[in-house]
Amino acid sequence: MKVSNRFTLARALFAPVFYIIFNAPLWLDSSVLKIISACLMIPLLAFFELTDYWDGHYARKNNEVSDFGKIFDPFADVILNLTVFLCAVSAGRMPVLFFVLIFYREFSQNFLRMVAMKKGIAIAARMSGKIKTVFYIFSGFFFITFESFIRFNFSFVPAVVYEILMTVYQWGAPVLFGLCVLFSWGSFIDYIKSFYSIIKESN
C-alpha cells in the first residue's frame, strides 16, 4: 500500500477506536477510565487529523496521486468527523437532527465524487468545502476539550469559573454544530453547481 494511503487508512481505522475511548468510561461507569480518556482524546484526535495533511503531502511528494486516493481520502475524513459528531450526540451536546443533516450531506457528496470519477472527472476541492472542514475540526475540538475538562473533574476550579465554562459549553456547542450544518450544506450546493457545470462542459 502506498505511504499516502496508509495515512488515510490509519485515519479511517482510528475512528471506531476513538468512539470506544470516548464511550467506554460511560459504559463501564469508571472514573479511572474517564481520566485516561481525557488524557488521550485530544492528542490522539490531533494526531489523526494531521494525517489528512500527511497523506496529501506524501501523495504529491511521491507522485502517488490516484483515483482511489481521491475517493478514499474524503471518505476517511467523513468517517472520523462523523464519529466525533456521533460522540457529541451521545453526550447530548449535538442535536440528532444536526447529525442527520450532516450525515446525509457527506454521503451525498461522496456519491457525487464517485459519479464524477466514473465519468473520468475529478471534482477539485473548493474553498467552501475547506471552510466547512475547518468548522468541523474546530467544533470537534471544542467539544472534546470541554468533555475532557469535565472528566478531569478539577476540584480546585472555583465554582463561579466552572459555571461560566459550563455556560460557554452549553451554548457554544450547539451554535458551532449548527454552523457546521449551514456550512456543510452551503458547500454542498456549491459542489452541485460545480458538478453540473463540469458535466455539461464534458458533454
Q: Tell me the pTM.
A: 0.89
Confidence of residue 128 (pLDDT cuts 50, 70, 90): confident
Residue found under cell 481520502: 73
| DSSP reduced 3-state for 67 | helix
Residue range 76-108, pLDDT digits in tens: 888 999 999 999 999 999 999 999 999 999 988
Q: What is the separation of C-alpha 123 from the centre of its chain, rounded to a whole number of angstroms?
A: 20
Cell of 183: 456550512
Cα(37)–Cα(18) distance, integer angstroms: 9
pLDDT at position 98: 97
pLDDT at 53: 80
